A and B are shown apart, each in its own frame.
Chain A
């Protein structure tokens, strides 16, 4: 009984087949939702005005920033997303002057955070957004370790109810039919929201029409198995803070091997170990039997030896006895003879 529940639980740890369809982030044949949406960011259009930051702050009810959003001096230092800012715009040095790039959750098609979370606090919605449910989060921060873009942030100063915070692609607004806050406010149309397939077409079209303006690459189409946010730029992506060494494998693919090994270990190990045990057990038994036999042998050997010894002793004793009798007889004869001699002497004296 113990064994059965135990194996069952372990099986659950490895078998993605047992998963409900919606949580199939771990399978390696993941198919993106057909009408998944996303946002296309065009670095050649962004002017670094930080209005998207402001809109994000407002629609998500985030705390006020240290410096106001129209203070552009903050651009001098590269920033990252935090629990108080789901998106930030950074300035980079480009060939022909400064280039700006907006950072936020990329809403991966197969999110690393979702596949890493051991309570399934993250979910990829059909509309493309990756959302988080604080009501189950344990706060282990493995999602932060896993995210290749370093997006999720944590409320480190919250003692009782810390949450993981990140851009939600404005999922609540999307549900109401509105645009994400940042997209809506962007004055330069550097951000476009739409079905991901369409966005890729738009991006390709822009690259085709202005080949001297853009690099021939849509960042996010393939990176980490694809993301819902896409980027086009005239600067190499690594120059504007987007890593180009991430590869095209999605996070679940990276861990699939380790997960697949689990049922094998559960299935094979007890057999192997049981086998080893049986062999050592048998060895021990044989060794034991051999010992018993050896003792028996020794005993019988000892027994026959003892008999022989006894016989020897007996025969020896017999010999000794015989000799003693012989001696006695001899003695008696001698005495008898000497007595006769004495008689004769006496007779002679008497006569």
Chain B
């Protein structure tokens, strides 16, 4: 499908391209500063705040929002919900790009990025939850790459290898879910080592469970949300199967997310009760905690439920957007807002422009690559040579 040649030549100077180019240039400038001047030259990190927005957004949110990969493929291949089939490829691609960008972004945050393989190949710190995160992310990135490869192989016309890979789908899906369960929850478990630094309303022994369950909501909402975003610009690439199933997929995931969000709300309340932290609710942090719980968990759960009942796709999409935002709020709260809550305001962290630029830079690269791939490879449509071959 040489969509490129078929499409009429458009001017390069679209608003998207202009903004993207500006961000990319700014990103390169900050990158140079980062790798010549050290972290101190571009970040607001300091001795009290070793982790900032690069961990809070690029790593924690990035991984949670890329959870659409394992949720969608599990729904389709393990739970046998065939209507999700058309959604699998876009979700896997997003997840693969998401994780690749997480690793890319870590290259900025860690002091000696070329040593990132050390924990696995040189000296294993197996008592560290970060080791688990690293190992799982590395393995899962590989799994995602293999899971994504059929699209690329079809594009390249390599039928034999493609068929072998397709046969491994179930095994890969199960690996994927195991690995995702582990590292999604380990990201929460990272903070269990620091009860004295994280505000009690957010600290809990159940943090791993909270992170895992919320990643399911994040993944499914992201699939809905991103399907909506790519619908307009990519519409001409979507085949009938994708389009036919699109609403079914939204309704199905909408219903599931509504239930899982409700469950998440429940386990958060259980966590609160278990640690008997009710009295914190009347404080300033308590008010913010309530905003997170009511506005970004209870409300979207409710909106999803109504949307599914009334088959109101627009409402479901709004609920998805709210949930995605809610995940970002939650991960920001844990890694930045409620972290170091005991320090005086002057010692607290706020991201610098350089840090924000790099985060935008990473997201922009993701969008550009996503567009590049989806306009060329069979993502939103089935390759004509391989119809009905799955």
Contacts from A to B (Cβ < 8 Å): 2-3, 6, 9-10, 12-16, 18-19, 23, 25-26, 80-83, 112, 114-121, 136-142, 144-146, 148, 150, 153-162, 243, 245-247, 251-252, 254-255, 257-259, 261-262, 265-266, 269-270, 273-274, 276-277, 280-281, 283-284
Which chain A residues lie closer than 8 Å to B124 at the CB level?
12, 118-120
Among B78, B118, B129, point to the contact of A273 (Cβ < 8 A).
B78
Which chain A residues lie closer than 8 Å to B192 at the CB level?
254-255, 257-258
When each residue 138-167 of chain B gets 1 if its CB lies under 8 Å from chain A and 0 otherwise, what string results? 010000000000000000000000000000
Which chain A residues lie closer than 8 Å to B128 at the CB level?
115-118, 142
B118 → A minimal CB distance (Å): 5
Apart from A148-B197, A157-B38: 7 A-B pairs, beta carbons within 8 A: A14-B126, A159-B38, A245-B196, A246-B196, A257-B192, A259-B129, A280-B80
Q: Does B365 contact A (CB under 8 A)?
A: no
Known: A115-B193, A145-B194. A255 touches B47 (CB 8 A): no
Known: A23-B127, A118-B130, A251-B193. A156 touches B46 (CB 8 A): yes
Tell me if A283 and B80 are in contact (CB < 8 A): yes
Tell me if A252 and B189 are in contact (CB < 8 A): no
- Choose the segment among B16-24, B169-177, B221-229, B323-331 that binds chain A (4+ C-beta atoms closer than 8 Å): B169-177
Helix, strand, loop or mixed for chain B's interface?
A: helix
Tell me if A155 and B135 are in contact (CB < 8 A): no
Query: For the complex, what is the distance from the CA of A150 to the CA of B45, rounded to whole Å?
Result: 14
Known: A141-B51, A155-B38, A254-B192. A9 touches B139 (CB 8 A): yes
Which chain A residues lie closer than 8 Å to B36 at the CB level?
159
Among A14, A247, A266, point to the contact of B195 (Cβ < 8 A).
A247
Which chain B residues lie closer than 8 Å to A153 at the CB level?
47
Query: For the complex, what is the distance from the CA of A67 to the CA of B302, rounded to whole Å?
Result: 60
Which chain B residues lie closer than 8 Å to A159 at the CB level?
34-38, 41
The 17 listed contacts between A and B (C-beta, < 8 Å) are: A10-B135, A13-B136, A112-B194, A115-B127, A117-B128, A118-B134, A120-B123, A140-B111, A142-B128, A142-B130, A156-B45, A156-B46, A246-B196, A254-B195, A258-B129, A270-B178, A276-B78
Task: List the 10 shortest-distance A-B pairs measured between CB atoms, nearest first.
Answer: A139-B111, A26-B127, A280-B80, A156-B40, A258-B189, A141-B50, A118-B131, A144-B50, A162-B111, A118-B128
Query: For the complex, what is the distance from the CA of A326 to the CA of B108, rounded to whole Å?
Result: 104
Which chain A residues lie closer than 8 Å to B175 at the CB level?
3, 6
Tell me if B125 and A119 are in contact (CB < 8 A): yes
Which chain B residues lie closer than 8 Å to A81 at the CB level?
47
B285 → A minimal CB distance (Å): 16
By beta carbon, the residue of chain B nearest A133 is B123
Q: Does B112 contact A (CB under 8 A)?
A: yes
By beta carbon, the residue of chain A nearest B115 is A138
For this complex, into which size category does the number of interface residues on chain B fall?
35 or more
By beta carbon, the residue of chain A nearest B344 is A78
A109 → B minimal CB distance (Å): 15
Which chain A residues lie closer than 8 Å to B194 at the CB level?
112, 145-146, 148
Known: A115-B193, A153-B47. A257 touches B205 (CB 8 A): yes
Tell me if B40 and A145 are in contact (CB < 8 A): no
Tell me if A26 and B195 are in contact (CB < 8 A): no
Which chain A residues lie closer than 8 Å to B119 at the CB level?
118-119, 138
Q: By CB atoms of chain A within 10 A, which of B34, B119, B191 has the most?
A: B119
By beta carbon, the residue of chain B nearest A25 is B127
Query: For the complex, what is the distance from the CA of A255 to the CA of B125, rounded to whole Å?
Result: 14
By beta carbon, the residue of chain A nearest B171 is A3
Query: For the complex, what is the distance from the CA of A276 to the CA of B75, rounded to whole Å?
Result: 11
By beta carbon, the residue of chain A nearest B45 is A156
Task: Name B178-236 residues within 8 Å CB distance of A.
Answer: 178, 181-182, 185-186, 189-197, 205, 208
Task: Name B89-135 residues within 8 Å CB distance of A.
Answer: 109-112, 115-116, 118-119, 122-132, 134-135
Query: For the complex, what is the distance from the CA of A19 to the CA of B112, rounded to whole Å?
Result: 26
Q: By CB atoms of chain B within 10 A, which of A120, A257, A276, A280 has the most?
A: A120
Among A16, A138, A144, point to the contact of B118 (Cβ < 8 A).
A138
Query: For the complex, what is the distance from the CA of A136 to the CA of B136, rounded to whole Å?
Result: 20
Which chain A residues lie closer than 8 Å to B39 at the CB level?
154, 156, 162
Query: For the complex, what is the distance from the CA of A345 to the CA of B79, rounded to whole Å?
Result: 98
Tell me if A252 and B132 are in contact (CB < 8 A): no
A267 → B minimal CB distance (Å): 10
Tell me if B41 and A157 are in contact (CB < 8 A): yes
Query: For the complex, what is the distance from the CA of A279 to the CA of B38, rounded to whole Å?
Result: 54
Q: By CB atoms of chain A within 10 A, which of B109, B134, B174, B342 has the most?
A: B174
Query: For the complex, what is the distance from the CA of A284 to the CA of B189, rounded to whole Å?
Result: 38
